[in-house]
Amino acid sequence: MDNIVPQFIHGEIRTGGSPERLENLYPADGSKLGEVSIASEEDVEDAVRSSKDAFETWSAMTGTERGRILRKAAEILRKRNDELAEVEVEDTGKPIFEASAVDIISGADALEFFGGLAASISGEHIQLGKSFAYVKREPLGVTAGIGAWNYPMQIACWKAAPALAAGNTMIFKPAEETPRNAVNLAEIFVEAGMPSGVFNVVQGGPQVGKQLVGHKDIAKVSLTGEVGTGQKVMEGASKTLKELSLELGGKNPMIIFNDADLEDAVQGAMMGNFYTQGEICSNGTRVYVHKRVMDDFCDQLIQEVQNLKIGDPKDPATRIGALISKEQKEKVLNYLQIGLEQGGELLFGGGEPDFGSGSPLANGYFVEPAAFYTESDNDRIAREEIFGPLMTILPFEEETDVIRRANDTPYGLAAGIFTRDIRRAHRVIGKLDAGVCWINNYNITPVEIPFGGVKMSGTGRENGRAAIDSWSRLKTVYVEMEGVGRPFD
């Protein structure tokens, strides 16, 4: 690929598109990696036509055949892990330490898992006396995936793998900030033997997304993005009443009881706040700590955070990379200011690291990991999704009180608790309004388990067997074995 990031339509790259271009920037130093071509309306129409054609072939193949291609693609992804991880680093600014261990591999896991399931997708037979019915599980048709920028390859694979395994075709639109690996994925699919048009990529911003959402020939849209975008997509989809999966934001609670293994809890809180510079939807950004262990927890946390190297994302020793954009950096710095103004106590961090004016990183979008202590759940830092390395620590004493406070949010994506009391663990989890919960760990999202939110964090599930249900529909067929008779007699 040269430095114009193209569309990928019907097996071919395309750079024409609309006359405008987007910039592809490296968040670690703000340098321009290249430009992104934006799909014109005609490009999107071509992609839909191509996907419709390809659907005829792809849906007629057996699950075994489709699965073999998906598993072959997983193999290629694993072989090209280092190179693809570097692209992920350049597009997102996250550390290579993470991208090479998680981002591409979790995408490959999804292709393998759903590639394995493809052959076992089946319906049901229901005997009704001498007559019977069967229920077929059918693909939906042409579908669309719209991605966020924090896990570009993983998001593309989490959507494409179950959709394609079930026999659908997909048009994928990556986030405008992170356009490159979706095209690499499309090329890998073709190399693995996938027919042209089964997976097309269109580039661009909200306008291109809107065209997909409103298109009458697209049966389902799966979005990963902000709540506000989810609302617009739901509204846009209402005109054609298409199926939707919405993977949206969160302000997730993590509850640390006084009997918790504190070392685990500190590591869990760090993982749930500072991985990918805090740009993770399921992060546990409201950390409720029992009053009796608050001091120990904070002391250990302060100690551990000092070991996190912030800086050059391509340095394998780096643990905190750059935020996605200048706007995101300013947003996070603004929340730090708000936290201070509302009376929060800043325990550590809270600024831009000083790399020295001669360093290219001085132009990057870095913010040091930070934690606030506050006793008010109403502080904006305790209520709003920040999507950066900013943890809010809140004290609690009573189990019932902390459950109420944990649920007092419009969001419901994830929740975690740390305790050694097995009964309490399950009792509390049973009362939390969240789609994904962890006991004594945080942010573990293997492809085998369903992932998704409740309340304003979205609808639908990715991963696990549940994802196959969401990318297929049922057709019920009644078979009469005895004749109609005379129903009006």
Residue 450 binds to ligand NAD (criterion: CB under 6 A): no
Would residue 298 show up in a list of annotated catalytic residues for this protein? no
Distance (Å, whole) CA 187 – CA 3: 16
As measured in angstroms, the least distance from the Cβ of 431 to ligand NAD is 22
Would residue 455 show up in a list of annotated catalytic residues for this protein? no
As measured in angstroms, the least distance from the Cβ of 233 to ligand NAD is 5
Would residue 281 show up in a list of annotated catalytic residues for this protein? yes
With tokens 């097309």, the residue in question is: 200
Identified binder of ligand NAD from the candidate list 150, 300, 374, 443, rule CB under 6 A = 150
* Cβ-Cβ contacts under 8 Å for 16 (sequence gap 6 or more): 37, 40, 43
Residue span binding ligand NAD (CB under 6 A) among the ranges 30-38, 125-133, 148-156, 330-338: 148-156
Between 223 and 310, CB nearer to ligand NAD: 223
The answer to whether the beta carbons of residues 183 and 175 sit under 8 Å apart is no
Q: Is 340 buried (19+), middle (13-18) or exposed (0-12) by CB count in 10 A? A: middle
Scan residues 370-399 and list those touching ligand NAD (CB under 6 A). Answer: 385, 387
Identified binder of ligand NAD from the candidate list 209, 272, 313, 364, rule CB under 6 A = 209
- 197: tokens are 């048009």
Residue 205 binds to ligand NAD (criterion: CB under 6 A): yes
Residue 43 binds to ligand NAD (criterion: CB under 6 A): no
In the bound state, the residue with its beta carbon closest to ligand NAD is: 209
Distance (Å, whole) CA 211 – CA 117: 32
Residues 240-279, one symbol each (x = binds ligand NAD by CB under 6 A, - = not), give -------xxxx-----------------------------
Q: Which residue in the list 94, 98, 242, 281 is annotated as catalytic?
A: 281
Distance (Å, whole) CA 42 – CA 65: 32
Between 249 and 350, CB nearer to ligand NAD: 249
Q: Is 488 buried (19+), middle (13-18) or exposed (0-12) by CB count in 10 A? A: exposed
The answer to whether the beta carbons of residues 386 and 327 sit under 8 Å apart is no
End-to-end alpha-carbon separation of the chain, Å? Answer: 72
The answer to whether the beta carbons of residues 311 and 368 sit under 8 Å apart is no
The answer to whether the beta carbons of residues 41 and 81 sit under 8 Å apart is no
Residue 144 binds to ligand NAD (criterion: CB under 6 A): no
Residue 176 binds to ligand NAD (criterion: CB under 6 A): yes
**Angle, CA of 162, 163 and 169, to the nearest 5°:** 150
Residues 397-416, one symbol each (x = binds ligand NAD by CB under 6 A, - = not), give ----------------x---
Residue 147 binds to ligand NAD (criterion: CB under 6 A): yes
Residue 329 binds to ligand NAD (criterion: CB under 6 A): no
Q: Which residue in the list 88, 176, 247, 279 is annotated as catalytic?
A: 247
With tokens 């057709």, the residue in question is: 475
CA 124 to chain centre: 32
Which residues are catalytically annotated? 159, 247, 281, 462
Binding site for ligand NAD (CB under 6 A): 146-150, 173, 175-176, 205-206, 209-210, 213, 223-226, 229, 232-233, 247-250, 281, 385, 387, 413, 453, 458
